[in-house]
Amino acid sequence: MKLEKLKGKRILIVGYGLEGKSVESYLKKNVAGVTVEKADKKDGPHYLEKQNEYDLVIKSPGVKKSLITIPYTTATNIFFANCKNMIIGITGTKGKSTTASLIHHILISSGNKSHLVGNIGTPAIKLLNSPLKNDEIIVMELSSYQTEDICYSPHFIVFTSLFPEHMNYHGSVDLYYEAKRNILTYLRSNDVVFFNSKYDQINKWLESVDCKKTDVSNLSLGDIKSCLIGKHNYENILLAYAVAKEIHISDFKILSALLSYKPLSHRLEKVGEYKGILFYDDAISTIPQSTIAAIDSLETVDTLFLGGQDRGYDFSQLVERIVKSNISNIVLFPDSGEKIFKLLKKQQGNLLNILKTDSMKDAVAFAFEHTKKGYTCLLSTASPSYSLWKNYIEKGNLFKKCILNYEKN
């Protein structure tokens, strides 16, 4: 929505988190005669009852559109409508933040001007408070919450992966996929889509798309050097490489940037070696497919932490992967831990050493006691964190804290 259409309106911001606060600041600074108020679930169960008193709602990500009863827009749509710069939009189930931050790092390292915004943490709308130069590039991570009702398509679209997730928000796998697909709706013929054809659903979406399509599945960079480990991260690197080449960045600059890139926290992050045991924090892995990728990336996993909020995921493939591995010890957190336990018992009988707990401190003590020296303890729970923790960051940080506290004793 263009700024001029917001002038003089009574606007209700629904969802007053980081993005909601940024929207409020932007409107008050840039829109004449606007009245801005806010409503947040922290205000109580009736926080949405006053919608009819306003001309427009600006809905934050995570607020279901079915809860909005009057015309609405989003900060994402306001940003796209009022930003004239080139936008690289990264979406997918997993790998978004790594791919987005890697693209941003390559751009900066090669002398380009780049801003990293969106779902990764910095609201994009904040950029509009100051004039942007024409050559500044926007690298924007987009969640399904943002793409569900997006009315624009980025100039470059990067699909990282596609697995069932967020069914509790969208209502079904099909609706989640449809939310992702919506980012393609407003493509122009000179836009570019970067993808990996291993994901059949994405292939189907692109059959009817009229623009340049770059499939990285057959692209090979050989034995490249990077701190990113695992096949899934190699695929993220290929996507970032393809984007950089489209912007005419040289191989030398791209590969040099890969060497200096530092991985994001909680994504197969090596915590360190303590008492002869390697500890890895992969707290971001909140679906089974992501945990399978983590196990595949590390050859010496002996202890694995699993479980969290139960969103109805199918853990059968994960359990099969565990059975085929040399993993000896399993920690299971509620609530999905019980579902995983039943599958493990059915497959493995009593061969695994299993701890059921809701305590990260007890889980880490179990790992120190039972993990073989020279082997790895991996936190990669295949489930969202919300049964016990605020988010994956709190879970990962607590994992690290408990390791350090135990090691000191």
Q: Which CATH class is domain 269-408?
A: alpha beta
Q: Can you read off the two tokens belonging to residue 103?
A: 């693209």
Residue with the two structure tokens 């200096």: 260
Tell me: the pLDDT tens digits for 317-373? 999 999 999 899 999 999 999 999 999 998 865 689 999 999 999 999 999 999 999
Tell me: the pLDDT tens digits for 175-211? 999 999 999 999 999 999 999 999 999 999 999 999 9
Residues of the chain with pLDDT > 70, as a percent, come to 99
Burial of 33 (0-12, 13-18, 19+ CB in 10 A): exposed
Residue with the two structure tokens 């940024």: 22
Whether the Cβ atoms of residue 141 and residue 96 lie closer than 8 Å to each other: yes
- Flag whether pLDDT at 4 surpasses 90: no
- Flag whether pLDDT at 152 surpasses 70: yes
What pLDDT does residue 233 have?
A: 96
Residues in the chain: 409
C-alpha distance from residue 139 to each of 66, 136, 150, 341 (Å):
29, 10, 16, 41
- Flag whether pLDDT at 407 surpasses 90: no
Tell me: the pLDDT tens digits for 239-267? 999 999 999 999 999 999 999 999 999 99
Residues 6+ apart with CB under 8 A from 252: none
Tell me: the pLDDT tens digits for 382-406? 999 999 999 999 999 999 999 999 9
Architecture of domain 83-260: 3-Layer(aba) Sandwich (3.40)
Peptide bond into 40 cis (omega under 30): no
The pTM score is 0.94
Tell me: the pLDDT tens digits for 262-304? 999 999 999 999 999 999 999 999 999 999 999 999 989 999 9
Q: Torsions phi, psi of 330, nearest 5?
A: -130, 130
Q: How far is residue 345's CA from residue 80's CA, in Å, rounded to a whole number?
A: 51
Q: Torsions phi, psi of 120, nearest 5?
A: -75, -15
What are the sequence ranges of the domains in the chain? 3-75, 83-260, 269-408
CATH number for the domain formed by residue range(s) 3-75: 3.40.50.720
Residues 186, 249, 117, CA angle at the centre, nearest 5°? Answer: 50
Whether the Cβ atoms of residue 106 and residue 249 lie closer than 8 Å to each other: yes
Q: Can you read off the two tokens belonging to residue 394?
A: 């709190």
What pLDDT does residue 82 have?
A: 96
Q: How far is residue 341's CA from residue 225's CA, in Å, rounded to a whole number?
A: 38
What pLDDT does residue 222 have?
A: 83
- Flag whether pLDDT at 223 surpasses 90: no
Q: How far is residue 129's CA from residue 3's CA, in Å, rounded to a whole number?
A: 12
Q: How far is residue 89's CA from residue 83's CA, in Å, rounded to a whole number?
A: 13
What pLDDT does residue 167 have?
A: 85
What pLDDT does residue 349 have?
A: 59
What pLDDT does residue 408 have?
A: 81
Tell me: the pLDDT tens digits for 84-135? 999 999 999 999 999 999 999 999 999 999 999 999 989 999 999 999 999 9
Q: How far is residue 279's CA from residue 271's CA, in Å, rounded to a whole number?
A: 5
